[in-house]
Amino acid sequence: MKTYNDTTYAILGILTTDCKTGYEIKQLIDRSLNHFWKISYGQIYPALKLIVDEGLAEVNNVENEGRPDKKEYHLTPKGFDVLKQWLDSPIEQLPNEKNEILLKLFFGQYQSHERTISILQSYLEKLEARYLTYQGIEESILVYKHKKQQDDAAYWLFTLDYGKRVTHAAIEWCRETIKKCEEERNDV
Amino acid sequence: MKTYNDTTYAILGILTTDCKTGYEIKQLIDRSLNHFWKISYGQIYPALKLIVDEGLAEVNNVENEGRPDKKEYHLTPKGFDVLKQWLDSPIEQLPNEKNEILLKLFFGQYQSHERTISILQSYLEKLEARYLTYQGIEESILVYKHKKQQDDAAYWLFTLDYGKRVTHAAIEWCRETIKKCEEERNDV
DNA sequence: GATCTCATGTAAAACGTTACATGATTTG
DNA sequence: CAAATCATGTAACGTTTTACATGAGATC
């Protein structure tokens, strides 16, 4: 069977939810999958075109009073099969992070202690802000879970839990590394 | 001042260490920066060419008995300046992970519990293997630190500590999520 | 004798980001 | 009245992966 890239599978997956348009897909990813997936319109619209060309979804135009028309995409049985088949396939590789902060820290000896500390501090702030948004997302998922009795909420909470734990570990590391750098600075 | 991409800065940084050839750069990244940076030869060799063209490093050919010749790259003062200037510049964005496992888990309701658990289990195994390699790297950095009295080892240990903490958090999450899925399976 | 390590490189394809274009309505 | 939100899309550019090419010595 034909294979597609992960961007395409991500969109197929989202089309199983209430999100049916390119715009809504972007919003869902930015708001709920943000900690493990990113996407741009430059990926979404061409991918939706491909999905329709391949018969994995069907489009229909929906008039939207006082708003631009929108195109709703609905999975076909074939599209649902392709999604399930991807879900069933094994995963070979660990995700590969690219972390600019760690890259700079790796060469930290060529930086002043002040600069190293300030980079870590701004990283810490961003991590803390991210942790707070996760808590916000968690609450909105819990609300959604109570409203609609759907199974998907459980899985969304699993992925969110991952984000929270990993972010928490990064925050702890950040705080302690800043402390170590400050001690170093005072020693020298 | 002209800017380059992170791949280029990563290579400039590595040229401050004992690694002076394309091959050695690849090895160092694979072995020591592996948890936060990846690179391929298709990036390294063109980047080294650019680095020389821009006057950031100089090449010289080194004969290597019983082995192919190698090209050693040495930073110029200008190259070192460019590196330091990049190190001093602020970081705007948090790194964006792309995690295929979490993406699949997000759509876990369309998978059997068995399959979800088996994906999590293989993820767990990979995370545990990674944690072990981190411990191996840690020991080799400690050895290096004792041999040469260099400051860089401290920063290498910082980045490694990050990798260990984050991986540990992911392992814990994995174990508990597997437990939850197993309970679900038994309930249904 | 096969595979691994050392060593450098290119070309094509795949993938992703950014900037641009359009335009109406709602909110501050 | 400016800015944000809703809504779709393209083109250019930048980045990364993958496959290929070459070849000698060392290890199993």
Q: For A42-62, what is each residue's pLDDT tens digit? A: 999 999 999 999 999 999 999
The last residue of one of the domains, among A88, A112, A134, is: A88
**How high is the pLDDT of residue B94?**
87
Which tokens in the block code for residue A69? 């028309």
**How high is the pLDDT of residue A143?**
80
For residues A70 and A121, membership in a common domain is answered with no
In a domain, A21, yes or no: yes
In a domain, B93, yes or no: no
CA distance between the termini of chain B:
63
The whole domain housing B71 covers: 6-88
Mean pLDDT of A103-129: 94
Mean pLDDT of B92-104: 90
Mean pLDDT of A103-125: 94
**How high is the pLDDT of residue A140?**
81
**How high is the pLDDT of residue A151?**
75
In a domain, A95, yes or no: no
For residues A71 and A132, membership in a common domain is answered with no
In a domain, A171, yes or no: yes
For residues A113 and A65, membership in a common domain is answered with no
Mean pLDDT of A2-13: 96
Is any Cβ of chain A less than 8 angstroms from the Cβ of B63? no
Q: In Å, how far are A75, A136, B62, B100 from A80, measured between CA atoms?
A: 6, 31, 58, 18
Query: What is the sign, positive or negative, of the torsion defined by CA atoms of B158, B161, B167, B170?
Result: negative
In a domain, A94, yes or no: no
Distance in Å, alpha carbon of A10 to nearest chain B alpha carbon: 7
For residues A175 and A146, membership in a common domain is answered with yes
For residues A28 and A53, membership in a common domain is answered with yes
**Which of B23, B21, B27, B24 is CA-nearest to residue B60?**
B21
Mean pLDDT of B91-107: 91
**Which of A109, A1, A4, A110 is CA-nearest to residue A48?**
A4
The last residue of one of the domains, among A88, A114, A132, is: A88
pTM of the model: 0.93
Mean pLDDT of A103-121: 95
In a domain, A20, yes or no: yes
Residue A21: pLDDT above 80?
Answer: yes
Q: What is the CATH number of the domain that holds B66?
A: 1.10.10.10
B122-CA/D11-C1' distance, Å: 41
Whole-angstrom distance, CA of residue B170 vs CA of residue B166: 6
Residue B158: pLDDT above 90?
Answer: yes
Residue A7: pLDDT above 90?
Answer: yes
CA distance between the termini of chain A:
63
The DSSP string of B9-58 is: HHHHHHTTSS--SHHHHHHHHHHHSTTT----HHHHHHHHHHHHHTTSEE
**How high is the pLDDT of residue B159?**
95
Nucleotides of C under 7 A from a protein CB: 6-12, 14-20, 23-26
In percent, how much of chain B has pLDDT > 90?
Answer: 74
Mean pLDDT of B161-185: 95
In a domain, A93, yes or no: no
Q: A105 contacts in B (CB within 8 Å)?
A: 155, 158-159
**Residue nearest the C1' of D18 (CA based):** B42
Residue A147: pLDDT above 80?
Answer: no
The DSSP string of chain B is: -----HHHHHHHHHTTSS--SHHHHHHHHHHHSTTT----HHHHHHHHHHHHHTTSEEEEEE--TTS--EEEEEE-HHHHHHHHHHHHS---S------HHHHHHHTGGGS-HHHHHHHHHHHHHHHHHHHHHHHHHHHHHHHHHHHS--THHHHHHHHHHHHHHHHHHHHHHHHHHHHHHHHHHHH-
pLDDT bracket for residue A133 (50, 70, 90): confident
In a domain, B1, yes or no: no
For residues B169 and B117, membership in a common domain is answered with yes
Question: How many structural domains is chain A composed of?
Answer: 2
The last residue of one of the domains, among B88, B118, B146, is: B88
Q: For A148-161, what is each residue's pLDDT tens digit? A: 767 788 999 999 99
**Residue nearest the C1' of C23 (CA based):** A68
Nucleotides of D under 7 A from a protein CB: 6-12, 14-19, 23-26
- Mean pLDDT of the residues in chain A: 92
For residues A21 and A43, membership in a common domain is answered with yes
Listed by number, the residues of chain B in 141-170 with a beta carbon closer than 8 Å to a beta carbon of chain A are: 150-152, 154-156, 158-159, 161-162, 165-166, 168-170
